[in-house]
Structure formats: structure tokens, C-alpha cells
Amino acid sequence: MMVKIPKGEINELKIELCDLNFERSKKVNIVLLVISLFLVPLDIINKQKGLWMPGTKYLFCTHILMVLVPLILLLYLYKHKNINTDVKSKQFFIMFFAYFLFLDSTVTSIIDQLIHGEISVFVIGAFLIAVMTNFRPLTSMGLYFINYLVFIIGITFVQKNREILSGHYINGTILVLVAWFLSIVLYNIKVKDFLSKITIERQKCELESTNLQLTATNQKLQESLLALDESQNIIFTLALALESKDSYSSGHSERVADYAVEIAKYLNLSEEDQLNINRASILHDIGKIGIPDAILNKPSALDHEEWAIMKSHPERGEAICSKLNFAKEILPIIRYHHEHYDGKGYPDALSGEKIPFLARLVSIADTVDAITSSRPYRSAGTFEKACSELQKGSGTQFDPVLVEAFVNLYNNNSTKLNSIRSQVCLS
């Protein structure tokens, strides 16, 4: 039945219960004073009318006490102006008032044996204590036990009717036990409320702390993304700037990217693959930045040495992009975009499935743009020509599956491919 209180929470619970009991005791003290201020003049008027019965004078004394003690307690509060921060003074006030209230009702019921023979004031006192205070079970047991003893001894001496006395013994005992039980139940409810409140407050604090951490992490992430965007922008701008040196290759990377992404969409590749294909296509020839212009723009055929330098651009591109965090995934695409399906490509002469799939795909897009773009020595070819060239190289230079995919894509959606070519070529 008892609620277990964690060690760390005991002090906080004590303070909360002390505050609650103190506020309630103060209010009941004032109510008691107001009631007594009516009772005392009423007693005096009754005496003047000759209505006093045997025992009324003792009752009058309790009424006087009910005026004096609350007044003394109010004076105590006035004297202890800092009582709100003084737990011991508050506890003294609470215990003193509880014992006085209960004892006064007990004594009133004992005196009442001389007048009406009732124990109702004692019962009211017992239940008022249960409702008004949230004492620990042991504390309230002491309070109930002392008053019960006083009550039993008192009525034994005062009540002369044995039958009434037996009834009071039984009723008084049962009602005191019920009142004590009620006080324990109310105390446990209060403790449970307190623990729930503490748990909710703790969870709220944890949530707020987590929220703050998430906000800070999010901010850092945003900053990192901005930095990443910046580094990406720089390298992409560099790649495009490289192409602008030669009007014939201008827009090549962007068109390769658009063709490659269209093929990826046609093959239902993931969003991540599409993103990597787009980035790799833009950067696939970035290694040409290290190739002399004399070789890049040579109108005639390259000699053996020049061709060797030209063929180093995939490795140069991989080396440049290896320093960039965002480009880790696309390094194989950059390095292997000139490999051939039959193993006669460069730089590593990989063949078939050993060539990364996305590199094989970019190779197709690269070739399509090379055929459909104009050169100093020839005009731009059509997509039909590109399809025909791809089919000729299927299984030797190109992956047959990807050749078929591109041809099907063109047959199904030539408008889209034409729009890529015309838009970017014009730009």
C-alpha cells in the first residue's frame, strides 16, 4: 500500500508536503478563530439567559482556548516573518495546530458527555485532520493514538451510562481507524502525484535538453552543408570553366549529366545513384585541367606521347576529387569512364562487370554527347547515328545492356533527349 519514494526525492517531497500542510493549517486556523469569535459571545448570551447546563462552563473554556490559541498562532506567524523559508518553524506551526485542533475536539466531546452525550466533535476532528494534513503514516498514527487515548480515558470518567459508553468505545475506535486509514490513503495519493510531477518535469527537462542538442547539431549540419555546397560549387564551377576554354566542348559535362540521369531514371536507379551519376558526369573530365591546352585543342591527331598525357585525365580527375568528401562515392566513375567492355580501355584495362556499372553508364552518355555535338572537323550527328554507333560498339566498347537501354529510351522518349541537346547547346 505504501508508495516507495526514491532517496533523492525525499527532501523535495518533505518540503512540498510541509508547504501544503502549512498553507492549509493557516487557513483552518483563521476559520477556527472566526467561528470561535461567534461562539464565545453566544455562550455569554446563553449564560445571561440562564441556558447553561452542567458542563457548559467547561465547553466555554474550550471556546476561549479556540480564540486564544489561533490568536497566539497568528502572532507567531507575525513574529516569524521569514517563516516561508524556515522549514522547522513551519513544521512546528503545523504540528502544534494539528495537536491543538484534534485535542480541542477530543476534549469538547469528553465535556459533551455531561451535556448531550455525543462524540460527533471528536469524529469531525479526526476526519478534519485526515483531510487537512498530509502527514506520514507514523506521524499521523502518533496524533490519532494520543487523541484516542485521551478520548477513551476521558469518556470513561465522564460518561456514567455504561450502555452509551460501550457504544462510544466501539464507534470511536472504528471511526478513528477509518480516519487514520483515510489519512494514509490521502498521503499516498499526494506522494504519487508528487512522483508523477517529478517524472514529468524530469522528462520535460530531458526533452528540452535533447531538443537543444538537436538544434545545435542541426545548426552545425546546416553550416557543414553550406560549406559542402561551397566546396561543391567551387569544383563544379571549375569543371565548367575548364570547358569554356573550348567553345566546342562548352556544355559537354552538363549534357552528359542530363543524358546519364535520363538513362538512370529509365533503369529505375535509386535517387542516390542518380545524384552520384549527375555529380560524376559534371566532373568526369575534370582531370583535363592538368592537360596542356596545346594537347587539348590540337586540331590534328595526337602523337604517342601526347596521347599518353591525354589518357591520364581520368586518374588526374580521381586525384583531384579524392580530396573532396562529397566526391568519395564517384571516384570510381571518374577513373573508369574510359574503360571498354572488352578490356581495351584505359587507365586499368578493366573489362565487363569489373568496370563499375555507373562508370559504364556515364561512358554511354559521354559517347552520345560526343557524337551529337559538333566538332571543328565535322558537324553534329543525330541520335539515330549515336544509337547506331553504340550498337556497333555493343559488347566491345559498351555494355550491351546499357546500349539497349539507351536505344529503347531514345525510341520511347526522343523528345526529351532532343530537348537536352538543343537547350544546353544553345546555352
Binding site for Fe ion (CB under 5 A): 285
Taking the complex as a whole, how short is the minimal distance between the CB of residue 334 and Fe ion, in angstroms?
A: 9
Question: Minimal CB distance to Fe ion: which residue?
Answer: 285
- Min CB(283)–Fe ion separation in Å: 10
Integer-rounded Cα radius of gyration of the chain: 48
DSSP 294: H
412's enclosing H/E stretch is: helix 400-412
Of the listed 288, 298, 311, 344, which one is catalytic?
288
| Minimal distance, residue 290 CB to Fe ion, in Å | 13
Q: How far is the CB of 365 from Fe ion (least distance, A)?
A: 11
| Nearest CB to Fe ion, comparing residues 70 and 314 | 314
* Closest CB 403 distance from Fe ion, rounded Å: 19
How far apart are CB 363 and Fe ion at their closest, in Å? 9
Residues 6 or more apart in contact with residue 93 via CB below 8 angstroms:
22, 25, 26, 73, 76, 77, 83
Closest to Fe ion by CB, 70 or 332: 332
139 grid coordinates: 506521524
Nearer to Fe ion by C-beta: 47 or 344?
344
Nearer to Fe ion, 232 or 249 (CB): 249
Nearer to Fe ion, 136 or 311 (CB): 311
Measured from the CB atom, the residue of 130 and 371 that comes closer to Fe ion is 371
Q: Which of 351, 229, 246, 353 minimizes the C-alpha distance to 289?
A: 246
- Using alpha carbons, select from 343, 353, 407, 8 the residue that is nearest to residue 202: 8
Secondary structure (3-state) at 145: helix
Distance CA 29, CA 68 (A): 11
Q: Is 57 an active-site residue? A: no
- DSSP-assigned beta bridge partners for residue 394: 398
Question: Can you name the residues that pair with 378 across neighbouring β-strands?
Answer: 375
CA distances in angstroms from 333 to 251, 321, 354, listed in the order given: 19, 11, 12
Instruction: Please state the closest distance from residue 295 (CB atom) to Fe ion, in A.
Output: 13
- Which of residues 16 and 285 has its CB atom nearest to Fe ion in the complex? 285
Q: Nearest approach, Cβ of 413 to Fe ion (angstroms)?
A: 26
Q: CA–CA separation, 102 vs 131, rounded Å?
A: 12
For residue 57, give the nearest of 70, 66, 68, 44 by alpha carbon: 44
Give long-range contacts, CB 8 A cutoff, 24+ apart: 2-5.
2/137, 2/188, 3/188, 3/191, 3/192, 3/195, 5/191, 5/195
Which CB contacts under 8 angstroms, 24+ apart, belong to 275-280?
Answer: 276/329, 276/330, 276/333, 276/358, 277/333, 277/358, 277/361, 277/362, 279/232, 279/326, 279/327, 279/330, 280/330, 280/333, 280/334, 280/337, 280/358, 280/359, 280/362
DSSP 374: -
Q: Which is nearer to Fe ion, 107 or 359 (CB)?
A: 359
| Active-site amino acid positions | 288
